[in-house]
Amino acid sequence: MARKSVGLPTGVELRNGVLRIRFSWNGKRCSETVPFPPTQAGITSAARLRNQVVSLIEHQLFDGAKHAELFPDSTNVAHVVSQAGQSFGEYAQIWLNSRSITEGTRRGYKTCLNTWWMPKLAIVPMKQITTVFLRKLLAEIKWKSDGVKRNAMTKLSTILASAVQDGILPENPMEGLEQPRRTKKDPDPFTIDEADRIIEHIYKEPHWPTQIYGAYFEFAFYTGMRPGEILALRWDEVDLVNKTAHVCRVVALGEVHERTKTHEDRYVLLNDRALHALQFAKEYAARRLKGETALKELPYCFPPSKNSEFVKDTSDLHLRWKARLKELGIRYRRPYNARHTYATYCLMAGMAPAFIAKQLGHSVQILLSTYARWLDSSNDWIEMEKLKVAPKMPQA
């Protein structure tokens, strides 16, 4: 017998040994296969699911998204979406393909979409994405942190804002939703003593090819350049006579990009310690290739210890960094804190904020907001010195 419904609960049928449920939605009769065995327990589960669907329909809570959620293998899902208009998944893919962005940014969007939004929104028609719909969705998702939630909301808002410009949505449904506040961690710099101990320790590596990382970190601690900027620095951008380095490119995700993070070139003045690091790197290149053409064959100032022009994978660098800090008994902080160390050391030395900001490659406002604690502390004792000339208290 192909079909048997006698004795089964209302809306439940058995066809060719497979359980199905029937219900009416939007004036049409629907029939969906359910993943339950044709046993009494399976029949009970099918009836329970059918009652859930009917209840959702009665309360006007059943839509394309819920249909796909309850029946992910249904052949009717694509038809439901096409009838309701372009889905979010379709639009998001078109939007991403049309963007002129770096591969790193593109990868960031794809990861965010695939992790947080596609499981919930892929087949949802764009016109069904409202503020109320998103508010409920945000409450259902178990976010790893407020920072992750904020990032996901920001990226989704950017896509939906484009949908408004394209005339698909009347307004951006994300604009009415409050994002978690940005939590900014204070910089955690090393002391200069710690920095010098780290540098010296790496320079003394018994395996000489890895000594290049000592030069890398000395340069990082004494220029404040971003890690990707240092890895992308080429010898033809270094002027040892005028003691400057032209920062105009960056290494990101294993590729060299002809731009900086801020998309603005800058010249960094090189102090004696930075020049020492470059001199070591120059000698390292000559030793590695054993020839006068070393700088042509190794165009990047800080190549990896293994055969390659530039450091594409920083795992080896990070691994050695972590191990050396442990050997020295220095509390672990990520290598990026070399940049913070340079910034705070300059502030404590009383250098002009405008000069420091120019060296670091960001605005004075960002410098002052990021390193306010060190800016204040550099002037505290100057203020205390004023007490020495304060009026003396009258003697009793």
Each residue's pLDDT tens digit, 26-35: 778 889 999 8
Confidence at residue 392, expressed as pLDDT on a 0 to 100 scale: 47
Strand partners, 267: 246
> Does an H or E element contain 282, and which?
helix 272-289
Please give the CATH topology (third level) of the domain spanning 192-336: hpI Integrase; Chain A (1.10.443)
CA distances from 265 to 16, 229, 237, 260 (A): 70, 11, 11, 7
Residue 17: left (phi > 0), alpha (psi -120 to 50), or beta?
A: left
Asked if pLDDT for residue 306 goes beyond 90, the answer is: no
Phi-psi map region of 290: left, alpha, beta (phi>0 left; psi -120 to 50 alpha): left
- Both tokens assigned to 146: 């407020």
394 against 255, higher pLDDT: 255
Q: Would you give the DSSP letter of residue 235?
A: G
Higher pLDDT, 255 or 118: 118
Distance between CA atoms of 371 and 178, rounded to whole angstroms? 28
Using only C-alpha atoms, the chain has a radius of gyration, in whole angstroms, of 31
Considering the segment(s) 88-165 as one domain, its CATH architecture is Orthogonal Bundle (1.10)
Nearest to 30 by CA among 75, 72, 84: 75
Q: What is the pLDDT of residues 334-368, one digit of tens each?
A: 999 999 999 999 998 889 999 999 999 999 999 99
Q: Coil, helix or strand for 156?
A: helix
Specify the pLDDT at position 396: 46
State the average pLDDT over residues 298-311.
Answer: 86
Tokens of 75: 């052949």
Is residue 233 within 8 Å of 301, Cβ to Cβ? Answer: yes
pLDDT in tens, 157-182: 999 999 999 889 999 999 989 999 88
- pLDDT confidence tier of residue 234, bands split at 50, 70 and 90: very high
Model confidence pLDDT, tens digit, residues 29-67: 889 999 899 999 999 999 999 999 999 888 877 877 677
CA distances from 247 to 270, 285, 294, 370 (A): 12, 21, 22, 22
Confidence (pTM) = 0.66
pLDDT digits (tens, 9 = 90+) for 273-301: 999 999 999 999 888 876 545 455 789 99
| Residue 205 CA neighbour count, 13 Å, CB half | 18
Q: Which residues contact residue 169 at a Cβ distance below 8 angstroms, ignoring those fewer than 6 apart? A: 126, 127, 129, 160, 163
